[in-house]
Amino acid sequence: MSALDDVELTLITGLDDIFAFREWLGRRRPIDGIGFDTETDGFDRYRGKVRLIQFGDDVHGWAMDRDDWLGLARWTFDNFTGDFIGHNAPFDCDFLESSCGISVPRHRVQDSMVRSALLEPHMSKALKNQAGRHVDPAAAGLQEVLRGTNFTWGTVPTGYGPYWQYGALDPVLTYHVEMRHRPLVEAECPRAYQIEMAVLWVVSKMSRNGTFIDRPFAQRYLEEFERYCESVEAWCQQTYGVRPGSNAAIVAILQEAGYSFSKATASGAVALDREVLEGINHELAQAVLGRRRAQKMASTYLTHYVTEADESSLIHPTFNTLGARTGRMSCSEPNLQNLPRLGTTTFGDVVRNAIKTRHGTWDDDLTPSQNAHKYGALVMCDFDQIEMRILAHMAQEQAMIDAFRSEDDFFVTLARQVFQDPTIVKKDRRRQIVKNAGYAKIYFAGVRKFAQTAGIPVDQARQFLGRFDTLYPNVPRFSQRVIDTAMSRRAQEGLAYVRSPLTNRIHVGDPHKEYALINYLIQGFAAEINKLKLIELDAAGLGDWMFATVHDEVLLDLPGEHIADGVSTLRRVMNDDQLLSVPITAGISFGERWGRKQDYAEVT
């Protein structure tokens, strides 16, 4: 027997339905709350429209046309006193606010998708998939409501049976998933859930705040990139008789020039991706690589900036707080986290520089500090070596802990120890080798991968990693302990996993890839610290100016009169010597544009 066999679905069409709905609201339930959901005309939560508003519990689902029954929906959110349970609740809350003028009481919102991610980070968090696993297997196949019709989500009539029934069932499924997941989360990782629910609203505010785009700047470079791509294509055809997108023809030319290829695509063809092209010192390879970079920056970012910015020249990226299995956030529309590092490519730097402060254009006659305090500035705050600090803390490697507590650069200190040379300074190439070795431990990279990233022969890399393990023995012991714990749990419980020491959230390892849990554990810890600090920054009053978080960095657009106080608050919140056995520190930079930033301490 299915848990959904006795579920009743109703489309509200008249007064009798309203009376029945209000009577239903007053009933006692297994959980003091109701599921809620919306059906919309698309995914633009700031300019899109809500078409249906739905509520439900374990036995009854209701759907109401937004235009006909908006007052009833508003009355429900104003008067129902229990929890409002959503699955990806911020999406529906943002739509209800922008399209309907309804403000859902955030302190009474629960999110079954967050609980799903905490309990099953290795599984799909989508409602239908979760319900298919835990409520009724048939629920997983309910996505085909518009198949065989000419309708879209924006044109399907709200009275079309399969559509409104699909909509009315969603809050019922949400309620059932919540009933299953809530006691498990409360027993296993309640703090993780509290942090995730709090940060949901912080990043939702970030997205609403928006990222200011210099649209003339973006338009100018979009056209320049397009001309560049056209010129590269013409050059490739004139010089080598190939189109830059013809991989097989390009590979043949490069092979004839003496280059060999060992990497293959999934289909077995010779790979010609970015990593391969970067390793080929040939004008054709570099031309193709440059064109690809320009195309990606133009299509993914500059076009989006020019066409999608609103009337205030703002874009509103979406931040998924549970975008990765580790708990790291992801970003889309556009993905600000996927830009090349500053200084890596001219194309990437241009995309960053199209993002500027909304508080005024800087004066060439003033210093950066004067401009910032007069007009305002983008202020960026980035954790220093957060993953390495977590590695030192979790491994309890005293030599690393001492290095972080000293006044010298961490990687310089380690390089002096590894190479037994006290004269090593920050610009010494050996510092980078040690840094690569440290991150190889976090990512459990093999000798060959480390040799490649460090730019040293494989034999030398093997010897180097051996010395690194000898000097810092608690690091390999920690790694082995993580793997042993996961394998023991797989043998006893059927699932390889470890838990965060901060919140007890679970990290699950795939079969034969349990080594990845070392990275999951460290990145997950870093993600939790980042989320804690975002919550604290919002509570300290900076939430109205935060507009993005990129990996371990938070970005703010501060007006001039708040620069000094804002920086002071950032320093107070982001620097922390209590959370770990090593101090957590963060650097602050600022600038008129994201790609032209300077250390705040150096110029103020």
User: How confident is the model over 473-492, as pLDDT tens digits?
Assistant: 999 999 999 999 999 999 99
* Domain at 214-308: CATH code: 1.20.1060
448 forms bridges with which residues in the sheet? none
Chain segment 323-353, per-residue pLDDT in tens: 888 999 999 999 999 998 889 999 999 999 9
Query: In terms of DSSP H, where are the helices of 160-260?
Result: 161-188, 190-209, 215-240, 247-256
| Two tokens, residue 79 | 């008067």
3-state secondary structure 491-518: HHHCCCEEECCCCCCEEECCCCCCCHHH
Q: Residue 444: pLDDT above 90?
A: no
Q: Residue 456: pLDDT above 70?
A: yes
- Which amino acid is located at 510 in the chain? D
Chain segment 399-440, per-residue pLDDT in tens: 999 999 999 999 999 999 999 999 999 999 999 999 999 999
SS3 state at 104: coil
Helix pair angle (89-100, 190-209), 10° resolution: 30
Question: Number of C-alpha atoms within 13 angstroms, CB side, residue 145?
Answer: 22
Q: Is 343 within 8 Å of 543 (Cβ atoms)?
A: no
Q: What percent of the chain has pLDDT over 90?
A: 89
**pTM: predicted TM-score of the whole model, two decimal places:** 0.94
- Which amino acid is located at 468 in the chain? F
Question: Using CA atoms, how far apart are residues 397 and 385, in angstroms rounded to an integer?
Answer: 16
Top CATH class, 8-188: alpha beta
Do the two domains 8-188 and 327-397+475-604 of this chain adopt the same fold? no
Chain segment 199-213, per-residue pLDDT in tens: 999 999 999 999 999
- Which amino acid is located at 244 in the chain? P
User: What is the fold of 327-397+475-604?
Assistant: Alpha-Beta Plaits (3.30.70)
SS3 state at 325: coil
SS3 state at 273: coil
**Concatenated DSSP letters of 18-59:** HHHHHHHHTS--SSSEEEEEEEESSS-TTT--EEEEEEE-SS
Q: Where are the domains of the chain?
A: 8-188, 214-308, 327-397+475-604, 403-472
* Nearest alpha-carbon partner for 576 in 585, 588, 566, 565: 585
**What's the pLDDT band for 267 if we cut at 50, 70, 90?**
confident
Question: Using CA atoms, how far apart are residues 161 and 149, in angstroms rounded to an integer?
Answer: 13
Q: Residue 143: pLDDT above 80?
A: no
119 contacts: CB under 8 Å, gap ≥ 6? 181, 184, 185, 188, 506
